[in-house]
């Protein structure tokens, strides 16, 4: 996602905010979304994209560091895209958030391997691959949990990390989150 992160942005990064939106599954939509974000110099931390249960509808979830005014512009500009069907900001307390990480840890001996496996158990991780000198662990949870695991295991030596970005859904049965619903906000009531 080079080009999206603008290090010199004068906007004080606040947040992070989670925005999630449903888009039409058509060629070029993702390019258009990211193009819009690049053009207006918005900062994106994490992106997750995947299909939904509705045919030809894709969900995108962004984690954005931005002040309120910038966030409002991102949401409004995205909402203007014909391909964007609905957009909402999710407040962390009103939604469930998950991120998945694959972490390849260097383990030089039996003791290190055991220790790493113990940590993995505590974090409810899955061991996906073992070699004489490494261990690949899958950790799922919120971003802080993954950060904590990385912190804990970094003394073994981390060879590689692959993180998915976050995905989130509102709590309860209502598909519209109980957080701020941007569509309502746009009516200025």
Partner 1 sequence: MVMNGSKALAESLLREGVKDLFGITGGAIMNLMHQLFEFEEIRVITARHEQCAAHMAEGYAVASGEVGVCFATSGPGATNLVTGIADAFLDSRPIVAITGQVPTSLVGNDAFQEADIIGATMPMTKANFQFHRVKDIPLLTKMAFKIAKTGRPGPVLLDFPKNIQIGEEHVEFPTDIEISGYNPTLKGHPRQIKRISKVLKQAERPIMIAGGGTISAMANNEVLELAEMLGLPVINTLMGKGIIPETHPLSLGMAGMHGHMCANSVINQADLIFAVGMRWSDRITGKLEYFAQEATIVHVDIDSAEIGKNVGVHYPIVGDAKIVLRQIIEELKKLDVTQPMSWMQKVKQLKERCQCNIPLTDIQPIKPQQVMRLLREHIDSKTILTTGVGRNQMWAAHYLRVYGPRKFVTSGGLGTMGFGFPAAIGAKVAKPDHWVVDVDGDGSFLMTQQELATSVIEDIPVTVIILNDQALGMVRQWQNLFFEERYAVTDLGPKGFEKRVPDFAKLAEAFGANGILVERVSEIGPAIKEAKESDVTTVIDVQIDRSENIYPHMPSGAKLEEIIPCPPWMEAG
Task: Report the interface residues with partner 1, using CB under 8 A.
Answer: 23-24, 28, 31-32, 35-36, 39, 69, 72-73, 76-77, 79-85, 186-189
Distance in angstroms (rounded) separating the CA atoms of residues 26 and 56: 8
Instruction: Give the shortest CB-20-to-partner 1 separation in angstroms.
Output: 15
DSSP letter string, 123-136: TT-EEEEEETTEEE
In sequence order, which residues have a C-beta less than 8 Å from that of residue 145 and are 6 or more positions away?
Answer: 123, 139
Instruction: Give the shortest CB-50-to-partner 1 separation in angstroms.
Output: 19
Instruction: Give the shortest CB-23-to-partner 1 separation in angstroms.
Output: 8
Give burial (CB, 10 Å; 0-12/13-18/19+) of 103: buried
Nearer to partner 1, 73 or 108 (CB): 73
Nearer to partner 1, 2 or 31 (CB): 31
Nearer to partner 1, 73 or 118 (CB): 73
Nearer to partner 1, 58 or 153 (CB): 58
């Amino acid at each position: 996602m080079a080009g999206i992160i603008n290090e010199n942005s004068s906007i004080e990064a606040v947040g992070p905010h989670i925005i999630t939106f449903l888009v039409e599954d058509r060629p070029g939509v993702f390019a258009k979304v990211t193009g819009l974000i690049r053009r207006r110099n918005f900062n994106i931390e994490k992106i997750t994209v995947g299909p939904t249960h509705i045919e030809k509808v894709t969900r995108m979830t962004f984690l954005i560091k931005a002040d309120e005014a910038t966030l409002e512009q991102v949401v409004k500009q995205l909402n203007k895209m014909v391909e964007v069907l609905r957009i909402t900001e999710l407040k962390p307390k009103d939604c469930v958030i998950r991120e998945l990480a694959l972490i390849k840890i260097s383990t030089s001996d039996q003791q290190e391997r055991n220790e790493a496996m113990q940590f993995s158990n505590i974090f409810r991780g899955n061991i996906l691959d073992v070699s004489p000198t490494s261990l690949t662990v899958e950790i799922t949870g919120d971003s802080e949990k993954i950060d904590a695991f990385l912190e804990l295991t970094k003394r073994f030596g981390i060879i590689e990390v692959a993180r998915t970005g976050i995905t989130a859904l509102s709590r309860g049965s209502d598909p519209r989150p109980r957080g701020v619903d941007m569509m309502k906000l746009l009516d200025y009531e």
